[in-house]
Amino acid sequence: SVERVELEGLAFDRALGLRFMGQIGLPPVLEDVDMRGVLFMPAARGHFRVADLALLGRMAGATLPLELTGELAVSAHMPAQMALESGKLSFGRQEMVLDGVYIGRERPHFTLDARAESLDSAELAAMMGLADRAEWLSTLASITELHDYEFRVELGQLQFGRLSLSDVFVQLAAVEGRSVIERGQATLPGALVEFEGQLQVDDEGRGLSAQVQLDIDDLAALMAMLDLPVSASGAGRLVVGTADAEAFPVLARGSIRLFDGELSLLGGLRNELQLPGGAAFSTLEADFLVQDDRTEFTGLRIHHEGARLDLDGLLLGPGQQLAGQVKLGGSESGLPVQELGGSLDSPEFSPSRIALPEQ
């Protein structure tokens, strides 16, 4: 809806003062809009420019207002086009540089390049009015259903919850209801992150698949950034991807393989079993399943100097609680020798309640 439009000295081939107040979109996408600029309309050429654009407003449902500045070029020739040049988006303490083009085809198409030295995802969510992961996905699905697009993001730093990522690059493209991450990468302390995924929106609903891979060169630095109450070092790879909807309540599946490191929990376990090696391992590998409040590791195998420890059913539950059974690799009995309990910051070990067979 339009509350007020002001044009000062309307005429072709001259600069005009422009002001617009109201809402943009039906239903409104931008509310409480106050836009000012300098309008130039060449005579009979079917396009115009708005220089010194300054738009104040708030996205529907958002708590954090925004300000957009730059230049806007509009063409009324079919298909209609609108281009934002030298755009700057400000909200809270954040500032992003934007360039984009919108083409009003039968199926609208837009391109958008977004760049920032740093970005806090919490303030981005507050500006967009998105409270959780489900709302992010719903918004992307709605855009993908109605538009084709190409979207590029480059960030020097990204604060995503307690994750501090740097050198973030994402390239996303959508055609006919299928959105694909064509390239995604970032750096964490001690690890290179690469990710891919796709979102399919059609008459049968919405389907999301994604995979993240961490190539770890300094596990100690990564653990310090995550602020986990366990000491670890080494290098390796972690891969995690979304699970099929039929696997619910399993949300994701993954695998981890580490080399030539140490794990503080392993040192305590070997002490209980009176085994040599301390906290060291040559290889550590496992698959895992992620649910809403727990992560279950399957087939966890730890090798060091020819000896092997197997942890069956290792569970990391609410409050970082631990549970699982320890077996000696290669043991003829195949029975657990130690029970694992407690928590990550205070693990507990006790002899297994299952008695070993008498010799």
Comparing C-alpha atoms, which of 153, 51, 46 is closest to residue 96? Answer: 153
Strands 280-290 and 252-263: antiparallel
**Of the listed ranges 21-35, 94-108, 140-154, 248-262, the one predicted with least confidence:** 21-35
Would you call 264 helix, strand, or coil by DSSP? Answer: helix
User: What pLDDT was estimated at residue 290?
Assistant: 94
The one-character DSSP state at 176 is T
Q: Both tokens of residue 63? A: 């708590």
Give the pLDDT mean for 191-219: 88
Angle at 13 between CA 7 and CA 14, to 5 degrees: 50
Residue 10 pLDDT exceeds 70: no
Q: Give percent of the chain with pLDDT exceeding 90.
A: 55
pTM: 0.85
Give the pLDDT mean for 237-246: 90
Residue 169 pLDDT exceeds 60: yes
Q: Which amino acid is at 102?
A: Y
Would you call 122 helix, strand, or coil by DSSP? Answer: helix
Is-contact 77 64, C-beta < 8 A? no
Give the pLDDT mean for 28-47: 83
User: What pLDDT was estimated at residue 321?
Assistant: 94
User: What pLDDT was estimated at residue 207?
Assistant: 80
Q: Helices then strands (H, E): number in the chain?
A: 4, 21
Residue 193 pLDDT exceeds 90: yes
Sign of CA dihedral 226, 255, 188, 98: negative
Residue 9 pLDDT exceeds 60: no
Give the pLDDT mean for 23-37: 89
117 sits in which H/E element: strand 109-120
Q: Both tokens of residue 118? A: 């740093």
Split at pLDDT 50, 70, 90, the class of 11 is low
Residue 76 pLDDT exceeds 80: no
Residue 158 pLDDT exceeds 90: yes
**Of the listed ranges 3-12, 129-138, 203-212, 229-238, the one predicted with least confidence:** 3-12
214 sits in which H/E element: strand 205-216
Residue 172 pLDDT exceeds 80: yes
Split at pLDDT 50, 70, 90, the class of 280 is very high
Residue 286 pLDDT exceeds 50: yes
User: What pLDDT was estimated at residue 335?
Assistant: 60
CB count within 10 Å of CB 186 equals 21
Split at pLDDT 50, 70, 90, the class of 2 is very low
Split at pLDDT 50, 70, 90, the class of 354 is low
| Mean predicted lDDT score pLDDT of the chain | 88
User: What pLDDT was estimated at residue 331?
Assistant: 57
Q: Both tokens of residue 267? A: 């040192």
Residue 330 pLDDT exceeds 50: yes
User: What pLDDT was estimated at residue 332?
Assistant: 52
